[in-house]
Structure 1
Amino acid sequence: MGLAGTLFKSILSLGALLLGSAFLLFAGGVNALILPIRGEAEGFTATSLGLLGTGWAIGYVAGCLRTPAMVARVGHIRAFGAMCAIAAIAVLISLVLITPAVWIPVRALSGFCFAGAAMIVESWLNERTEASSRGRVFGIYTMVNLAATTAGQMVLTLGDTNGYFFFVLAAMVYCLALLPTAISATTTPRPLTKVSLDLRALWRNSPIAFFAVLMVGVSNASFGTLAAVFGARIGLSLGDIALFASIPILAGAAMQIPVGIASDRLDRRKVLIGITCFALAADALFLLVGVTSPSMVLGLAALFGATVYAMYPVIVAHANDHAEPGTYIQVSGGLLLVFGLGSIGGPTVAGFAMTSFGPASLFAVTGTAHICLLTFAIYRLRTAPSVKSEKKVMFKAKPLARFSTPETAALGADQAELDADQPSEALEGPPQSQKDPRE
């Protein structure tokens, strides 16, 4: 059997997991967009809607940290089923009790469950993926999630967002997500990766990566949470709002290929500075030019997404250039959690700014984050030596950080990185004595 046959066999054996992940991301896409659209229609302030993003980020970081212990106690299938069920209940609570006082903590609960469910799926995929097809399976997994998220957002154009349909739809699909794994004969994997967040070690490894990913968390979470609110307040139709939220994601995914090629050939800090300059241009155009047509807004959204969603993989690659062998996955997982910390504050500040100064101030917040990133990157470029070409790791495309977990880093790693990371204490796999006896 050739490489294509091996890959096809792997995909068939992982079909239940990929289907469960697709349902999970589809429901997450519906839930993430219906809340700001419905909240805007109900008269919620932008500050309250921004706090939805803060709640999500708090829950998501907590889910990444606490899920491994839960899975160790009750097992993968039970934990995954509980996460999906609670996420469905959270969506329905949002429908029954339409008030910011309820939506914000419920959104945090959704973030916790979403992170936990995603970690379990990714751990399962990691266990079932052969070393020879790991990169291709990770690419297919990323494409499935991208397509499912986009489809979940675009489906809102097919009905009335002022009713109950999309809340119920999201809850139903969350429940569907648990079925493929519940009835699958796939072998239950070993324990999840355990994550510890050592901020000092991350800073020592690469100050620019630490600071940059924090600022990207502020910027991307602000836009991801409040893009629909911005679109509604400048008069976009529901279809255009869905496109405004989806086009940046697709543009960012497409830009990872040329950005990756450039960052492998040049100093990654210079590439990051260049991307940030284009992001600042998009911020400035939103602020200064104003809105003249939906097509112009969507074009600026594409420019914005192509830059801000291409930053994170460059940052991770630069951090791994400086990482010691055996710490690559630790560094990637830690940076993801730092991104989550930035995501906690960004939407709240942006929501307050939009309430006080108007919808365009969303891009004043993202622009401020980009200015801080650019300033620090230029400072580090002038004061710290560049990494020699022979010491650079190969750039790897990454899924959206907002929907990634520390298990994503493990799933996306090649076999050499996994072998090197085996002794790591911060992200530790199961001891050799805990190997599955069926192997």
Structure 2
Amino acid sequence: MVKSLFSLGALFLGSAFLLFAGGVNALILPVRGEAEGFTAASLGLLGTGWAIGYIAGCLRTPALVARVGHIRAFGAMCAIAAIAVLISLILITPRVWIPVRALSGFCFAGAAMIVESWLNERTEASSRGRVFGIYTMVNLAATTAGQMVLTLGDASGFFFFVLAAMVYCLALLPTAISATTTPRPLTKVSLNLRGLWKNSPIAVFAVLMVGVSNASFGTLAAVYAARIGLTLGHIALFASIPILAGAAMQIPVGIASDRLDRRKVLIGITGLALVSDALFLVSGATTPAGVLSLSALFGATVFAMYPVIVAHANDHAEPGTYIQVSGGLLLVFGIGSIIGPTVAGMSMTAFGALSLFAVTGAAHILLFAFATYRLRNAPAVSSENKVAFQSKPMARASTPETVALGADQAELDADQPEDAPLPMELAQQDPRE
């Protein structure tokens, strides 16, 4: 296992560079935009642009790689992502930042998929679970480090933009030194809403609402924190603590969801999320200690929902469709990520910073109500038909390749039937590679 991990170290490092640069870029833009006087609506559209680009990257990268090859596609993605960051530094205006942010999302998704494809190919079946767990921890640490690095400098200058661009370029190194000459084709997923809804209505609706809530917070948390007077260091903590709390919460949530009806677990988590929404709205907390404590509660709930939803959907999935279902839900999450920041940004412009949590609260109310309805009107899955719960990285930083990497060998073997009801096919490998 140690020898295997050593051989995977370059790919882990490449993924860490991607997530570190993404963490810096994701936080410096709203912080700098707020300092430049951008409206919350325009800053929310940064998140919308990112989500649009990210979904497009997940859908289009497999075809691009099939046409030009892994190494050239990866190099182009990293180079364009670095250029996009620098354009944001040169042209500080929402009219430029929003489409450039979409371009960043496209390139980030494409680069992540290619790294994950390489990692997937080099992972043996016997160590797949451990490798995926390490990969998840590496990405979590890199994202958090990228956000926390903002505490070390001045957001009004050029340093963090240049840093993000440099680290995107550093991510080129793993493929440049890779000895693999013919990586596997990338996983291609197509969105079949009717099939997903037939499989599990609650999963589709829940992941849409979680996309609305989580993307709203992920995009505009820094704006909220700045408007209530937090320092840059506390803003970085406000963005990072919820992610760490959500990661830690997945362990007890996973145990509970394997033992109980997952819908009850989801309803319980959503209820706690509503409590955190309400506390933000009514407490008037503005001190760093109070705000950071509430952010930990918020993150522990909202960032633990996604893996429960995916596990519930896979409980209902036919053998041979697990990866297709998970990949489809990822795209539905992306649709919610398009809606959420737009609505939340407009609300914050019209009604003030606290309306961010009115939007997340509305999403959680709808989720709570629909999950309760389904609990009362649809039978529970028997214990013997449940799949094993699996912790997952943030959906916003996941791709169809992440889903494939996280699958066990039995799921990979099963997800190859010719008549799978939710189509996911492998892109054709370019014979020139």
TM-score range, shorter chain: over 0.9
Residues 12, 188 of structure 1: alpha-carbon distance in 2 compared, 3 angstrom cutoff: farther
Aligned partners of 1:435, 1:353: CA distance in 2, in Å? 47
Which residue number in structure 1 is paired with residue 57 of structure 2?
A: 63
One-letter code of the match for 2:143? T
Q: Where does 1:39-438 land on structure 2 (aligned, <5 Å)?
A: 39-423=33-417, 426-429=423-426
Aligned partners of 2:322, 2:427: CA distance in 1, in Å? 18
- Gap runs ≥5 in structure 1: 1-6
What SS does structure 2 have at the residue aligned with 1:302? helix
Q: CA deviation at 1:435?
A: 12
Q: Is the 8 A contact 1:63 1:115 kept in 2?
A: yes
Q: CA deviation at 1:161?
A: 0.5
> What is the CA deviation profile of residues 359-409 of structure 1, one whole-angstrom value per residue up to 9, with x for unaligned ones?
010000000000000000000000000000000000000000000001111
What SS does structure 1 have at the residue aligned with 2:354? helix
Q: Where does 1:17-56 land on structure 2 (aligned, <5 Å)?
A: 17-56=11-50
What SS does structure 2 have at the residue aligned with 1:428? strand
One-letter code of the match for 2:134? I
Off by >2 Å, runs of 4+ in structure 1: 428-431
> What is the CA deviation profile of residues 295-316 of structure 1, one whole-angstrom value per residue up to 9, with x for unaligned ones?
0100000000000000000000
Aligned partners of 1:187, 1:217: CA distance in 2, in Å? 37
RMSD of Structure 2 on Structure 1 (CA)? 1.5
Q: Is the 8 A contact 1:56 1:108 kept in 2?
A: yes
One-letter code of the match for 2:29? L
Q: Is the 8 A contact 1:39 1:49 kept in 2?
A: yes
Which residue number in structure 2 is paired with residue 4 of structure 1?
A: none
What SS does structure 2 have at the residue aligned with 1:194? strand
Q: Is the 8 A contact 1:321 1:387 kept in 2?
A: yes
> What is the CA deviation profile of residues 169-227 of structure 1, one whole-angstrom value per residue up to 9, with x for unaligned ones?
00000000012211222343121111111010000000000000000000000000000
Aligned partners of 1:294, 1:96: CA distance in 2, in Å? 33
Aligned partners of 1:435, 1:419: CA distance in 2, in Å? 23
> What is the CA deviation profile of residues 310-360 of structure 1, one whole-angstrom value per residue up to 9, with x for unaligned ones?
000000000000000000000000000000000001001000111111101
Q: Is the 8 A contact 1:122 1:411 kept in 2?
A: yes
Identity fraction in percent: 84
- Gap runs ≥5 in structure 2: none
> What is the CA deviation profile of residues 281-300 of structure 1, one whole-angstrom value per residue up to 9, with x for unaligned ones?
00000001111411010000
What SS does structure 2 have at the residue aligned with 1:359? coil
| Count of aligned positions | 430
TM-score, normalised to structure 2, is: 0.97
Aligned partners of 1:11, 1:255: CA distance in 2, in Å? 26
Q: CA deviation at 1:17?
A: 1.0
Q: Is the 8 A contact 1:190 1:435 kept in 2?
A: no
Q: CA deviation at 1:430?
A: 6.5
Q: Is the 8 A contact 1:13 1:186 kept in 2?
A: no
One-letter code of the match for 1:120? I
Q: CA deviation at 1:10?
A: 1.4
Q: Is the 8 A contact 1:26 1:152 kept in 2?
A: yes
> What is the CA deviation profile of residues 64-121 of structure 1, one whole-angstrom value per residue up to 9, with x for unaligned ones?
0000000001111111110000000000000000000000000000000000011111
One-letter code of the match for 2:99? P
The match for 1:16 among 10, 35, 38 is 10
